Amino acid sequence: MSDTFRTIKAASTGMYKEKGSKFLSFAYPVENEAGVQHILDQLKKTYHDARHHCYAYILGKEMDIFRTNDDGEPHHSAGDPILGQLRSHELTDTLIVVVRYFGGTKLGVGGLVQAYKTAAAAAIASGEIITKILMTELTISFAYEAMDQVMGTISRNDLKITHQAFSSSCLIKLECRANIQEEVKTLLAAIPSLNAIT
């Protein structure tokens, strides 16, 4: 099972012009729908004089959360071509918004599809696509005498300590690749004086 996914490293922009209409495109890495909404609100304030703010996003490692919005353009002429670009680049946790300033000449549905597709592609092309690893968190508590074995296991498996607290017993939070989580749990569980793994 793969525990990696493709997304964009940082926000990027693009532009496309057709028959006087200007299509400004913006790609953003996002983690949830609240993040999407925040960006949409900001863009609508910044480009409040634009005719349309069309967008598409995909969320989740399985790419199973997605949405499109034509924002007043003919049905399927804006959001779908933007979504198509996200899918063809296999991007998730990504939002693309295309802001259109109408130039006075109607482009027709075919022209709009092409314009939104090209603008979305321009925003992706100007950014950097990265592969991210799906991580999971483990919390372990153990007695002091297990410290050397626990630290050895952490080191050998390239685990990242995100938090540690030492009082009457020891507590460590770890970040672990999702696809080795069960294996790491088994290794840690074999250490004597280990109290709990969650």
- Global pTM value: 0.81
Strand residue runs (E) in the chain: 4-8, 12-18, 21-29, 52-59, 65-69, 94-101, 129-133, 135-142, 160-166, 170-177, 194-197
44 CB neighbour count, 10 Å cutoff: 14
DSSP state of 52: E
Residue that is written with structure tokens 């399985």 in the block = 62
pLDDT of residue 49: 96
DSSP state of 1: -
Q: Which two tokens stand for residue 134?
A: 């799906």
Give the pLDDT confidence of 4-58 residue by residue, as tens digits.
999 999 999 999 999 999 999 999 999 999 999 999 999 999 999 999 999 999 9
Residue that is written with structure tokens 């304030």 in the block = 45
pLDDT of residue 1: 54
Domains and CATH numbers, the chain: 4-132 (3.30.230.30), 134-197 (3.30.70.260)
